[in-house]
Amino acid sequence: MCSTEYIIEDGWVFNRDGKPLECKVCKCWEFYEYRGYERHPITLEGKKKLPVKGYQCKNCRKTVVQRFDFIGKSKQYAKDVQRVTLSGSIDDMNSTRHVSYRTCRDYDCHPSAATVRYWTNQFGDMAEVIFRTEVVPYMPGLCKKGTIHLDEIYTKRRGKTPSFTVAMTHIGYLCLGGHFSDTATADDVAAVLDKLDWMLLDPARFITDGSDIYPALLRERYPHAEHISCFFHKLRTISRWEKKLEKTKNRFERMKILRGIITRCKDLLHQIWDTPNGRATNNRIERFFKPIRRLFHQIVSFFSVDCANNFLDLVLFHWNFHKFERGQYKGKSPVEVLGFDTKGQDWLYFLGIPEDFD
C-alpha cells in the first residue's frame, strides 16, 4: 500500500490516522474531538461505513474533519478502485466499457464506463502535469542536446485513419509526449513540439520516418537541429525499388530505377558514416505502440478525442515508469535511465504505478 507518513490537503497536515497535527490558522496543536458524520466510500471489497471524526482548534475554534489516505476528500470511490481500474485499462488495452465490466466481475464494486472515462480524464491530466513539473526538472540525464525520435502511428477505422504522433528520446526510450487526432498532420507534430518546448529541451537531432509532415516544421522551429530519416525506412524504400526493377522490362525504365537506387544507397551510406546516430531507427517506437494501436482502433469507447488524448498521456506516463525486462536497460525504467529517483515518490502510487514499488 501507500507509504505516506502524512496526508496534506487544503493546507492542513494530518497524521496517518487522519488527525490534524496543528491548526492551519493559529498553529495551535490542541484540538477538541467530536463525533462527525458517516461516509460511504466504495472500495474493492464493496461499500463501507466509515465514521468520520471532527476536530476543533482549542485556541481559535477553527474546525476540520478527519482525512483518510485511501480515499480523496468528498470522493465516493477509494483510490484502490481507481488504481486497479486504470492499471487494468492500461495493461490490457481495453475499452472503458470492458474495463468497467471486468472490475464489476472481479471485485465487489462496479464503476460505470462513464466513471472510468472520468477517471481517465482526471488522471491523464494529472499524469501530464506531474511529468512536466515533478519528473522532467529532476532528471539530470535528460540531455538538452539529445536525439529525439518522432513517429506517427496509424490505425484504420471506417475509412478514417486516426493516428497518434509521439516523441521519444533516443537514450532511455523516454516518451516525452504524444498527440492523438483523426489523422496525423503537421498540427499534431506542432502539438508534440509544444510539449518539448515546455520542458525546455533543445534537441540536437530528430529522427523521423521521412513523412512529409515533419521537414518544414522542424526547420522552422529547430533551425539548428539535424533531421535524419529512419535508417530502416530508407532501407525499405530501396528494397521496394529493387522489386520494381525486377518487374520492369523496358531498358530505359530500368536505367531510371537503377539510378534512383544508386542515389538512395549513396545517401544511406553517407548517413551511416557521416552522421552520429545515422543508423538509428524508429523501430522501437513502432513496436511499443503496436498494442496501443489496437485500443485506439476502438476509439469510439472514449467518446471524444480529448479523452483519448488524456488516456494517451496516462499510457505514456505508465511506460516511462515501467521497468525494462531485458536489453541494455534491464531492471530500470526510462526515467531511471535518465537519472530520476523514483524512491520516495508516493504520488506514483495513485497513478497505478509501478507494481513493485514500495
- State the residues that interact with Zn ion by CB under 5 A: 23, 25-26, 28, 57, 59-60, 62
Alpha helices in the chain (DSSP H): 79-92, 96-106, 113-130, 186-198, 215-221, 231-247, 251-274, 283-297, 305-321, 334-337, 347-350
Amino acid at 232: F
3-class secondary structure, 55: strand
Amino acid at 81: V
* Least distance (Å) between residue 58 CB and Zn ion: 8
Beta carbon nearer to Zn ion, 55 or 131? 55
* CB half-sphere exposure, 67, CA atoms < 13 A: 20
Beta carbon nearer to Zn ion, 14 or 289? 14
Beta carbon nearer to Zn ion, 20 or 177? 20
- Comparing C-alpha atoms, which of 184, 173, 149 is closest to residue 305? 184
* Lookup: cell for 281: 531507427
Distance of CA 51 to the CA centre of its chain: 37
Beta carbon nearer to Zn ion, 53 or 279? 53
* Least distance (Å) between residue 28 CB and Zn ion: 4
* Lookup: cell for 22: 496543528
DSSP tag of 161 = -
In the sheet with 226-229, reading across from the earlier edge strand, the strands are 175-181, 163-169, 147-154, 205-208, 226-229
* Least distance (Å) between residue 5 CB and Zn ion: 23
3's torsion region: left (phi>0), alpha (psi -120 to 50) or beta? alpha
* Lookup: cell for 129: 502535469
Beta carbon nearer to Zn ion, 28 or 272? 28
Beta carbon nearer to Zn ion, 62 or 98? 62
Beta carbon nearer to Zn ion, 3 or 63? 63
List, in sequence order, every residue forming a beta bridge with 151; answer none if it has no partner.
166
* CB half-sphere exposure, 53, CA atoms < 13 A: 14
* Least distance (Å) between residue 39 CB and Zn ion: 24
* Least distance (Å) between residue 14 CB and Zn ion: 15
- Comparing C-alpha atoms, which of 269, 211, 212 is closest to residue 235? 269
* Least distance (Å) between residue 63 CB and Zn ion: 10
Beta carbon nearer to Zn ion, 26 or 216? 26
* Least distance (Å) between residue 34 CB and Zn ion: 16
* Least distance (Å) between residue 56 CB and Zn ion: 9
Interatomic CA distance for residues 97 and 111, integer angstroms? 10
